Amino acid sequence: MASSSAAAATYRCAECGADLNLTAAQLYPEGVYFEAGNKGTLSFSWVDESRLRFAPEDKIRPFFETLNYWGIQRKRTRISCDACGRLLGYVYDDGPPAMDGTGQFGMGPSQVIPRRPRYRIKTKAVTVVNPPATAPYR
């Protein structure tokens, strides 16, 4: 996952400063492909559900996230700060497969295979505490 120096970084709500119990160690590695994209967000593999509020969202209207992730009906879950209620991001079902296998009819991964949740948090909704130290420029 993340390096040990980056693992010290923790994230708080940008609105109220509440500790969200999120660390860089829980981030998916850089470069992991997600069907719903990853622009302007941090993708966590785990979150502390006691510090967040979750609300299902079901909209029937066209949406276009990426070339491969679009549709008419969007079902996702909103993630909000439990302390102040600010929208932090959404839970998507496009994480890594939750089981080993070759997919439907042996043709590779598909949405038929259950996937782990991906907690997609907006970078503007959180602040970093104890950011990793950067090497001095020489």
Structural domain spans, the chain: 9-98+109-126
Per the confidence metrics, is the pTM higher than 0.75? no
Over residues 108-121, mean pLDDT: 72
Task: Give CA–CA dist 93/120, Å, rounded.
Answer: 10
Please give the torsion angle defined by the CA atoms of residues 116, 121, 126 and 131, in that order, rounded to the nearest 10 degrees: 60
pLDDT tens-digit readout, 20-79: 999 988 988 877 777 666 778 888 989 999 999 999 988 777 777 667 667 777 778 999
Q: Which residue has the higher pLDDT, 109 or 125?
A: 125
| Contact (CB, 8 A) for 52 and 19 | no
Q: Is 100 exposed, middle or buried (0-12, 13-18, 19+ CB in 10 A)?
A: exposed
Extended strands (E) in 33-117 = 41-44, 52-66, 69-81, 87-92
| Contact (CB, 8 A) for 112 and 97 | no
Over residues 91-117, mean pLDDT: 66
Kindly report the CATH class assigned to 9-98+109-126.
mainly beta
Q: 49: which DSSP letter?
A: G
